[in-house]
């Protein structure tokens, strides 16, 4: 038989094995969640008190986890960077500054390459938050704050390949980052500033960023005749016109549907207040576009006026949402 001959696949057995891997890791996450106690809040305190940046480190698979956690911390409003433990001894130690805190990941806590960073942090009075499974390890003993995760078998049947342990470390890193985000009170607007591009940026767009303003608004006052209102509707291209009271507040709106319902010989000689419907649906300029789009879908409308203290400052429609990439 050729050495390149394909071995028949046991599909059902493979699916069963894959499911067991996922179930084992899910069980480990559940056990860790149940075991959380006040030490987690102490870990958040350690990171929240930093005046500099969070220096995340680790080696091997734990190092890859550290890179991801550093990126998640930074993207959720906590300044962080990754320092490679192996490179630290060759000059990168200078990245660590007073006011920083070291966040170190290691399953065993015995990783020799971490020791120079731990010793340097100790000499400089830089706090160390250790995420490990062994309290009595070198990392555990050097830690200013210690966050333990359960020592469980890896999902690998040989209990060798880092799988369950890296999943637990990654999840703890996510929990720390999001707890810090919650502690700092990061708003959707601030999160949008950190993610201006891509799908996240589009998801966090506000109405004020895409609305039409100024002379583009189809508006008339309450004494206007329908002839002029119709010119505003067709000229501005939104298929609606807003009606203002004497204080400039939006008191009503006329849509294509209202025109059809009011159709008659005297339509164009009537005042707009006879045709408009009161209490139009509006949003403010800080509303997320996704929320505004959901409102339009629920109300079965295609256009919304944007108001500030009941005074219209903008208008947008479903086509603007689609152009912005929000669906």
Average pLDDT over residues 143-170: 91
Average pLDDT over residues 94-114: 90
| C-alpha angle 152-155-159 in degrees, rounded to nearest 5 | 70
- Find the helix packing angle between 164-184 and 61-75, rounded to 10°: 20
Average pLDDT over residues 140-157: 90
Query: Locate tokens 């500099």: which residue?
Result: 52
Query: What is the H or E stretch that residue 296 is in?
Result: helix 289-299
Q: Which domains does the chain have, with CATH numbers?
A: 20-186 (3.40.50.10490), 207-323 (3.10.580.10)
pLDDT of residue 143: 92
As given in the structure block, the two tokens for residue 287 are 């509303």
Q: How far apart are CA 93 and CA 252, in angstroms?
A: 65
Q: Tell me if 311 sits within 8 A of 213, measured CB to CB.
A: no
Q: How far apart are CA 58 and CA 66, in angstroms?
A: 6
* 91: CB partners within 8 A, 6+ apart: none
Q: Is the pLDDT of residue 300 over 60?
A: yes
């Amino acid at each position: 038989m050729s050495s390149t001959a394909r071995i028949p696949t046991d599909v059902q057995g493979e699916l069963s094995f894959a499911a067991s891997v996922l179930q084992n890791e899910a069980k480990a996450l559940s056990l860790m969640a149940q075991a959380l106690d006040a030490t987690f809040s102490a870990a958040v305190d350690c990171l929240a008190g930093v005046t500099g940046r969070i220096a995340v480190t680790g080696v091997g698979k734990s190092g890859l986890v550290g890179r991801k956690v550093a990126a998640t911390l930074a993207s959720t409003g906590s300044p962080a960077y990754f320092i490679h433990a192996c490179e630290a001894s060759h000059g990168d130690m200078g990245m660590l500054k007073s006011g920083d805190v070291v966040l170190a990941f290691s399953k065993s806590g015995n990783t020799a390459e971490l020791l120079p960073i731990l010793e340097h942090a100790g000499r400089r009075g830089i706090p160390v938050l250790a995420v490990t499974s062994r309290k009595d390890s070198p990392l555990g003993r050097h830690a200013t704050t210690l966050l333990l995760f359960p020592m469980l078998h890896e999902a690998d049947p040989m209990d060798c390949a880092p799988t369950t342990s890296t999943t637990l470390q990654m999840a703890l890193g996510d929990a720390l980052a999001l707890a810090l985000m919650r502690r700092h009170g990061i708003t959707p607007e601030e999160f949008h500033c950190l993610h201006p591009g891509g799908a996240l940026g589009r998801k966090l767009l506000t109405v004020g960023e895409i609305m039409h303003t100024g002379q583009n608004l189809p508006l008339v006052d309450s004494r206007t005749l329908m002839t002029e209102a119709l010119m505003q509707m067709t000229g501005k291209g939104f298929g609606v016109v807003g009606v203002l009271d004497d204080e400039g507040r939006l008191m009503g709106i006329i849509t294509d549907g209202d025109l059809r319902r009011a159709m008659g010989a005297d339509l164009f000689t009537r005042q707009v207040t006879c045709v408009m419907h009161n209490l139009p649906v509006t949003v403010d300029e800080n509303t997320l576009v996704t929320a505004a789009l959901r409102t339009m879908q629920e109300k079965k409308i295609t256009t919304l006026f944007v108001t500030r203290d009941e005074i219209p400052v903008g208008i947008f429609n479903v086509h603007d949402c689609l152009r912005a990439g929000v669906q």
